[in-house]
């Protein structure tokens, strides 16, 4: 297993639409294992393949306190959503340090395949419903900040771009053997 690089907003690759998974093989199992290690290391409760620059319909979710309830959802689709909506403060591994309220369906029913191509369905509410909708948005090329006002989104983009420049400058200085 290995830790994968998580794309950071506003990286344009986060907006690529993921394609359905068609091969259920050792490569897919390794991708799931690598993504799980990456998600737990970050630390996070969900991760979409799109966030690690693999544009296939695969998401991982583990909302358990003990981090031992990992579920891989392959080619997931929402087959039912409640009319009732709720607002949760969301964060994202691709938008580090940023949290804001997003309105989503309070309950959803999701159909997906597991790593052995076996179909299953999950009815979810609360945090699981939010997490599933959030991660499935990534597969459509959508990041949670796109639900926010343009003003908030632009401030977040500017802040993350500034942090990115600072990290690049620091890495360059380290490569030259200098520290400031």
Feature table: binding site for Fe cation: 92, 134, 138
Report whether pLDDT(180) > 60. Answer: no
Q: Closest Cα to residue 57, out of 115, 11, 131?
A: 115
Q: Is 123 a catalytic residue?
A: no
> Residue range 78-96: average pLDDT?
97
Q: Closest Cα to residue 139, out of 23, 17, 9?
A: 17
Q: How confident is the model at residue 178 (pLDDT cuts 50, 70, 90)?
A: low
Residue range 25-79, pLDDT digits in tens: 999 999 999 999 999 999 999 999 999 999 999 999 999 999 999 999 999 999 9
Distances (CA, A) of 176 to 162, 168, 170, 180: 21, 12, 10, 12
| pLDDT score at 114 | 98
| pLDDT score at 15 | 98
| pLDDT score at 179 | 56
What pTM value is reported for the model?
Answer: 0.92
From the list 37, 56, 135, 164, the catalytic residue is 135
For residue 131, give the DSSP letter.
Answer: H
- Distance (Å, whole) CA 164 – CA 77: 34
Report whether pLDDT(177) > 80. Answer: no
Burial of 176 (C-beta count, 10 Å sphere; 0-12/13-18/19+): exposed
| pLDDT score at 170 | 79
Structure-block tokens of residue 79: 């087959």
Distances (CA, A) of 113 to 31, 92, 95, 134, 138: 15, 24, 28, 18, 18
Residue range 117-176, pLDDT digits in tens: 999 999 999 999 999 999 999 999 999 999 999 999 999 999 998 988 877 777 777 777
Residue ranges and CATH numbers for the domains of the chain are 12-176 (3.90.45.10)
Q: Closest Cα to residue 144, out of 106, 107, 89?
A: 89
Feature table: binding site: 92, 134, 138
Report whether pLDDT(24) > 70. Answer: yes
């Amino acid at each position: 297993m290995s830790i994968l690089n998580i794309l950071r907003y506003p990286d344009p690759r986060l907006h690529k639409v993921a394609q359905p998974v068609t091969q259920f093989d050792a490569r897919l199992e390794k991708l799931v294992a690598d993504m799980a290690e990456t998600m737990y290391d970050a630390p996070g409760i969900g991760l979409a393949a799109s966030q690690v620059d693999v544009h296939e319909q695969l998401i991982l979710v583990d909302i358990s306190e003990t981090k031992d309830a990992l579920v891989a959802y392959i080619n997931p689709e929402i087959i039912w959503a409640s009319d009732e909506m709720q607002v949760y403060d969301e964060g994202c591994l691709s938008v580090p340090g940023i949290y804001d309220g997003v309105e989503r369906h309070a309950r959803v029913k999701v159909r997906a395949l597991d790593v052995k191509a076996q179909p299953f369905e999950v009815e979810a509410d609360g945090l699981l419903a939010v997490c599933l909708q959030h991660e499935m948005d990534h597969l459509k090329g959508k990041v949670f900040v796109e639900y926010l006002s343009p003003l908030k989104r632009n401030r977040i983009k500017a802040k993350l771009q500034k942090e990115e420049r600072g990290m690049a400058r620091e890495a360059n200085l380290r490569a030259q053997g200098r520290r400031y």
